[in-house]
Amino acid sequence: MTAPTPASDAHPANGLDEVVHQRVRLGILTIAHEARKVEFGYLRTQLDLTAGNLSKHLSVLEAAGLVNLEKGYEGRRGRTWITLTGAGDAALAEEIGQLKQLIARVETTREDR
């Protein structure tokens, strides 16, 4: 039996967050980071999702404390705006850091061949 590997020696894939790493949720966090405040319909269009599918992903992110949802009106039409929380910004930065480590490993391996 081998001893557990210290966290610093862990493979970068082990640091990926299941909530953040999912394709749609990573897209939501990235767009919210870029826009600071994004409207539900814009996200739906950009990520090519149904309203129901986007709602489910937003619920996961909101429950994890990564986004805030603000409901209101623009004229007579109901709108939902999404903003990234401080925790969401940190989670996105951590995820990007882990992905960069994975990319570096692949590029290093490729250069050695």
Q: Mean pLDDT for the chain?
A: 90
Query: What pTM, to 2 d.p., does this model score?
Result: 0.84
Nearest to 82, CA basis, from 34, 13, 15: 34
DSSP H helices in the chain? 18-21, 23-35, 40-46, 51-63, 86-112
CA distances 32 to 1, 13, 66, 103, Å, are: 45, 24, 10, 24
Q: How confident is the model at residue 108 (pLDDT cuts 50, 70, 90)?
A: confident
pLDDT band per the 50, 70, 90 thresholds, residue 113: low
- 102 CB neighbour count, 10 Å cutoff: 15
pLDDT tens per residue, range 11-59: 888 988 999 999 999 999 999 999 999 999 999 999 999 999 999 999 9
Per-residue pLDDT, 92:
97
| C-alpha span between 83 and 78 (Å, rounded) | 17
